[in-house]
Structure 1
């Protein structure tokens, strides 16, 4: 199972995440308490021992223009663009051509989520299911009802796309989520203390995932 550590917004965060076993390193370029600028990401990545070749950088955007995203991809050397707003399938397709990157689409859990996944099935490279509050597009630290996860995985796999789960995932509950076997998990607040990435929480999370993966292969 793939791991994405998102919301890195300091040099220390980046050092901790690049030294972890995470497959994806996430940065939020949308308005958020974890918002960063492309130039900052460029500088931080230049100051750490080069990230593992297996680690890919992900930029999170909410209803930004193609021009803004293209600049961020270029300056911050992003490998993946994660669309977190009300973007359309046509927008995602245009972005893939302009930026030459993989595009992920966040689908917020509600009674219309499966319909939205259907619309994006041919336009994007991965789905990420997240929770949403009235005040935030994500990063709420609250989980949705994970009994719906198998439905999301089934829909994503019908398009041969991976399905990541976000929202309220942490060290204490990750085993409960892994019972549903998502393709990946996405954490921000779940690996933080006082809004800073906590290396020990990262290690504990990784260990629990590895134990579960090993158990599942026996």
Structure 2
């Protein structure tokens, strides 16, 4: 978090064991399961089974699991997390600081709070979650109430239908004030929305988020593509250490 560490990678929208096992061979930091209504939605039982596989294969210290929710009630969260004990709860709705604090304390998880920004193509008109570019002071005022109750802020592209996963980018020049405000308040800043293997290096070079979150950008015909995931991860992790993955594949390193 602003200390020179390599950015984290979250691959979201995982639904099947084959893809999961492919991720477990890569330096992916977070694996996301969508519980909100979406074409990538999984049931708590499906996610629970995949979480057990991940923990059996790699242990709790690697590949943190994330549950994505939109306007969940406390009862829904309790029921879902009883079957799918994720490490992180990601909220795409308007939860209050008290709600976020309750989730952290009740379930012993981290909480990511999503802020939705207008896409490059939609920058005018009245905005609800579609916040305009924020200067540092405004960003800090927005985030300050969540200090101590939220671990990371995730900037995503606003879409009234898909909520997240729109496949469109927001104006990346919005990132610096949010990143600075988040760091001052002890939070990380994660960027999502329209990322691909072709544009992620530009994002990292120009705006230096603490992490990146991708789903549709590593799919082919709506299905997770392990080769695209591998390329994406290599480009992110190679941003500061280009030879790391190749070195890890050397026979003398695998013995």
Q: TM-score, normalised by structure 1?
A: 0.91
2 CA distance for matches of 1:16 and 1:71?
A: 28
Aligned residue runs from structure 1 range 10-89, under 5 A:
10-47=16-53, 50-51=57-58, 53-89=61-97
- CA distance in 2 between counterparts of 1:194 and 1:206 reads 20
Q: Number of aligned residue pairs: give it.
A: 215
CA distance in 1 between counterparts of 2:102 and 2:57 reads 31
Structure 1 residue 202: Cα displacement? 1.1
Once residues 79 and 26 of structure 2 are traced to their aligned partners in structure 1, the CA distance between those partners, rounded to angstroms, is 27
Do 1:9 and 1:27's aligned partners in 2 also have CA atoms closer than 8 Å? yes
CA contact (8 A) 1:72 1:78 kept: no
Give the counterpart of 1:116 among 118, 142, 154: 142
What is the RMSD of the two structures over their aligned residues, measured on CA atoms?
1.8
> Which residue of 2 is the match for residue 188 of structure 1?
215
Structure 2 CA distance for aligned equivalents of residues 92 and 69 of structure 1: 12
- Deviations, residues 77-127 of structure 1 (Å, cap 9, x unaligned): 211111111111111111112111111101112228625323323321111
Distance in 2 between residues matched to 1:93 and 1:112, nearest whole Å: 27
Q: What's 2:107 paired with?
A: 99
CA positional deviation for 1:47: 4.8
The answer on 1:144 being equivalent to 2:170 is: yes
Question: Retained in 1: the 8 A contact 2:45–2:84?
Answer: yes
State the alpha-carbon separation in 2 of the partners of residues 85 and 68 from structure 1: 14
- Give 5+ residue unaligned stretches, structure 2: 1-6, 118-130, 243-255
Once the two structures are overlaid, the 10-residue window that deviates more, 88-97 or 183-192, is 88-97
1:155 aligns with 2:158: no
TM-superposition CA deviations, 1:42-85 (whole Å, max 9, x none):
22344566135321000000101112112222211211111111
Partner SS for 1:186: strand
